Structure 1
């Protein structure tokens, strides 16, 4: 299980980049629009627009590997969580409400840093929103510096 400090970080107003691969090991990437702990505390849910990132979603089914990188835009504090997909489902109304709150929070953070509407507006969407549920297996520090790439914890 991911500790509370990491969980709170990934649930915050952070940039979220996801990476998957197809059967031929060709990569696909996408941006997440909100992450939260699932009810049992052992799984994470990240929301993704399939309309924007169809290749990413197409690669993901139960048992598929996933890497998700979370970056605080104001100081580049970064963690990567590697995991295994448990479920890929269309977003519920609750997922959409969660995503809208994420949009509001990340928009506030980015505009305070001088990022323009044109730079962020296109990916803050809930078009064809899907929920990726995954079981974390490893957490790595990726913040630039001497600890980058260090495994922080291995999850059961």
Structure 2
């Protein structure tokens, strides 16, 4: 079953966040890496996350092997967080027009952590983004969960209605 993001959550996950991606190998051993940015398709049925081919090498191998992934999206300054689980991932080179989105999302993340006391250099070092070392991971979300600390943490997100 396809999971359809609502407009608010789709806007949130594309807004320059701390993003982690995870998968598992054939022995169910987990792997995790930082992702750089996110885009949601216009119909909100597909999500694309962007990751470093070198820093996320194990996760990328595990995604290709297992066909599943999870992505966690967090705004450090507020701790608002969502998790998406997905299937049918396709890993492919980043398209030229996507580079500006990655740059903007990395900049948004850096601005957010600067607002809570980190330096821009610290933010950019944490992300470790280098143009030319990025792939796109496109997938269909199958479930979503609130991960913001508090009483709703772990609650399943209800799928949105088709626009």
TM > 0.5 fold call:
yes
Report how many residues are paired.
156
Deviation per CA, 1:11-34: give whole Å up to 9, x if none.
112111111111111111111111
* Separation in 2, partners of 1:62, 1:43: 20
1:149 counterpart residue number: 154
**Residues 63 and 86 of structure 1 are in contact (CA less than 8 Å); yes or no, is this contact kept in structure 2?**
no
Aligned counterpart for 2:67 among listed residues 64, 68, 75: 64
SS of residue in 1 equivalent to 2:70: strand
Deviation of 1:56 after TM superposition, in Å, equals 0.8
Task: Choose between structure 1 and 2: higher strand proportion.
Answer: 1
5+ long unaligned stretches in structure 1: none
Task: Show structure 1 runs of 4+ deviating over 6 A.
Answer: none
TM-score in terms of structure 1 length: 0.90
1:20 counterpart residue number: 23
2:45 counterpart residue number: 42
Matches within 5 A, 1:97-112: 97-112=100-115
Range 110-119 or range 6-15, more displaced:
110-119
Q: Does 1:82 align with 2:82?
A: no
Range 56-65 or range 12-21, more displaced:
56-65
1:139 counterpart residue number: 144
5+ long unaligned stretches in structure 2: none
